[in-house]
Amino acid sequence: MSEIQERAVSRAWAWLGLELVETGEGSATVQMTAKEDMANHSGFLHGGMISALADSAMGRSLRTVKPGVVRAMSFDLKVNFINAARIGETLRATGRVVHAGRRTMVATCRVVGNEGRLIATASGTFAVTREKE
């Protein structure tokens, strides 16, 4: 198993090369570097990869609230693409919880590239299972 896979939260995270950068109460930052095999037909990072990064950052942010989240699954995801991400660029996505209900949670996300250039914004609604209080 590679070092990235050992640090990754899931096999999907390992495959995408996602890394957890930091967490705080109701927030999480995840990063990835755009690789050649992630390019779209125009030579930029495919939007699906950006969507997966945003979804992962929001999902990770849910796990920072109390009572804890045992399982979370997005059932609504909205992504606004602002700028194209270049191959080789490192993207950082910061997810923030905006609603923490018992069975559903809502989060938002900003994805930025080099020098803080805004790549995308996102929001998502998640079905959650929470720890018993």
Q: What is the pLDDT of residue 9?
A: 74
What's the total number of domains in the chain?
1
What are the pLDDT digits (tens) for 56-113?
Answer: 999 999 999 999 999 999 999 999 999 999 999 999 999 999 999 999 999 999 999 9
Measured CA to CA, the distance from residue 48 to residue 29 in angstroms comes to: 18
- Span 27-41, average pLDDT: 96
Instruction: Read off the pLDDT band of 4 (50, 70, 90).
Output: very low
Instruction: Read off the pLDDT band of 10 (50, 70, 90).
Output: confident
Cα 26-61-12 angle, rounded to 5 deg: 175
Q: What is the CATH number of the domain that holds 35?
A: 3.10.129.10
Candidates 101, 11, 102; CA nearest to 52 is 11
- Range of 36's domain? 3-130
Measured CA to CA, the distance from residue 57 to residue 103 in angstroms comes to: 19
Helix (H) / strand (E) containing 81? strand 69-81
* pTM of the full structure: 0.92
Q: What is the pLDDT of residue 83?
A: 98
- Choose between 18 and 2: higher pLDDT: 18
